[in-house]
């Protein structure tokens, strides 16, 4: 269509998807990455980092709810939480819905993403950066984990994809998960975004198997993300959310969460943790 912009997003070296863009709202290059905020024709406002869609107004709630709630609802009384990455502030928003949470430390490497979010992405963070329980740190999550002496009940990794030589690559390694274990309270757990079962099944499965090796207990979920043009996966370590029934999830949401959820409930939980046969077989094979 003449006069329109397209975002050409490479999913693998062999395929790309095109997203029609109404308007580029802002664009900046930081020391770490290229950041863009656009108005997509189909998905509304969207954040793009290094040419990859990070989240859009249309379905960010699906991603952020599924990353956060299965982990926190599996823990007894999660109080002190660490988020690494999560620049938009939406993971922070979901964590703060838990009544038991007293303190959330969020560490993102890129101040420019945070400033972008504060200025343009209010629908994502909804004031979460100003919550008195929030402590925001600009810094490398890897270094923070190596240096902190604090212990956490839950650690949530909302990082860019593990592309070789990127700032997030080493935060998906076995060595890093061992470091997370050191700062996790007994019976604590972790959650990480785990890329796409559609475009990078091997990476999703590898993250699952690495988390399992370190934390002994691991679970995986997935969902369809229209703005990512495919399935998206999450992995949880040290907890077993899949063992909770539909009714248990609904009851825990009623008792422990203040505020509304748009995707996650007992029914969606069952769907997201029911992995198809070919993925379960890959978990065994790789």
Q: Which residues does the annotation mark as catalytic?
A: 158
**Residue 84 or residue 128: which is nearer to ligand SAM going by CB?**
84
Helix (H) / strand (E) containing 61: helix 60-74
The annotation status of 88 as a binding-site residue, yes or no, is: yes
Pair of tokens at residue 147: 């240096």
In order, the DSSP letters of 232-280 are: EEEEEES--GGGS-HHHHHHHHHHHB-S--SS-SHHHHHHHT---HHHH
Helices then strands (H, E): number in the chain?
10, 12
The annotation status of 265 as a binding-site residue, yes or no, is: no
Looking at 1-9, 104-112, 147-155, 209-217, which segment touches ligand SAM (CB under 6 A)? 104-112
Judged by CB under 6 A, how many residues of this single chain contact ligand SAM? 25
Q: Is 43 in the site for ligand SAM (CB under 6 A)?
A: no
The CB density around residue 175, as the number of other CB atoms within 10 Å, is: 10
**Residue 92 or residue 249: which is nearer to ligand SAM going by CB?**
92
Q: Is 78 in the site for ligand SAM (CB under 6 A)?
A: no
The annotation status of 213 as a binding-site residue, yes or no, is: no
Among 66, 68, 82, 109, which residue sits at the site for ligand SAM (rule: CB under 6 A)? 109
Cα distances from 136 to residues 97, 109, 112, 128, in angstroms, run 17, 11, 13, 10
Work out how close the CB of 202 gets to ligand SAM at its nearest, in angstroms, rounded to a whole number: 17
Pair of tokens at residue 122: 């209010």
The annotation status of 3 as a binding-site residue, yes or no, is: no
Q: Is 158 in the site for ligand SAM (CB under 6 A)?
A: yes
Contacts of 129 (CB under 8 A, 6+ apart): 89, 92, 114, 117, 118, 136
Per the annotation, binding residues for S-methyl-5'-thioadenosine are: 33, 108, 140-141
Binding site residues, ligand SAM, CB under 6 A: 49, 54-55, 63, 84-88, 107-110, 113, 140-142, 158-161, 167-168, 171, 193
């Amino acid at each position: 269509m003449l006069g329109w912009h397209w975002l050409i997003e490479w999913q693998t070296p062999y395929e790309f998807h095109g997203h029609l863009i109404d308007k580029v709202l802002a664009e900046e290059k930081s020391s770490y990455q290229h950041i863009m905020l656009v108005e997509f024709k189909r998905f509304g406002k969207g954040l793009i980092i290094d040419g990859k869609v990070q989240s859009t107004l249309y379905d960010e709630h699906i991603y952020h709810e599924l990353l956060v709630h299965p982990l926190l609802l599996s823990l007894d009384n999660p109080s002190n939480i660490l988020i690494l990455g999560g620049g938009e502030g939406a993971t922070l928003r979901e964590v703060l819905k838990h009544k038991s949470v007293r303190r959330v430390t969020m560490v993102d490497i890129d101040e420019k993403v945070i400033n972008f979010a504060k200025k343009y992405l209010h629908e994502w963070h909804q004031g979460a950066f100003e919550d008195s329980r929030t402590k925001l740190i600009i810094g490398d999550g890897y270094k923070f984990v190596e240096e902190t002496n604090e212990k956490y009940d839950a650690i949530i990794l909302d990082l860019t994809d593990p592309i070789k030589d990127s700032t997030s690559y080493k935060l998906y390694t076995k060595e890093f998960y061992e470091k997370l274990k050191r700062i996790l309270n007994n019976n604590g757990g972790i959650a990480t975004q785990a890329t796409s079962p559609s475009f990078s099944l091997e990476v999703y499965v590898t993250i699952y198997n690495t988390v399992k090796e370190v934390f002994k207990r691991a679970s995986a979920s997935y969902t369809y993300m229209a703005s990512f043009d495919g399935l998206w996966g999450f992995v949880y370590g040290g907890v077993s959310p899949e063992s909770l029934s539909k009714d248990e999830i609904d009851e825990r949401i009623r008792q422990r969460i203040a505020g509304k959820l748009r995707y996650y409930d007992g029914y969606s939980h069952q769907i997201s943790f029911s992995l198809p046969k070919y993925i379960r077989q890959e978990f065994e094979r790789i």
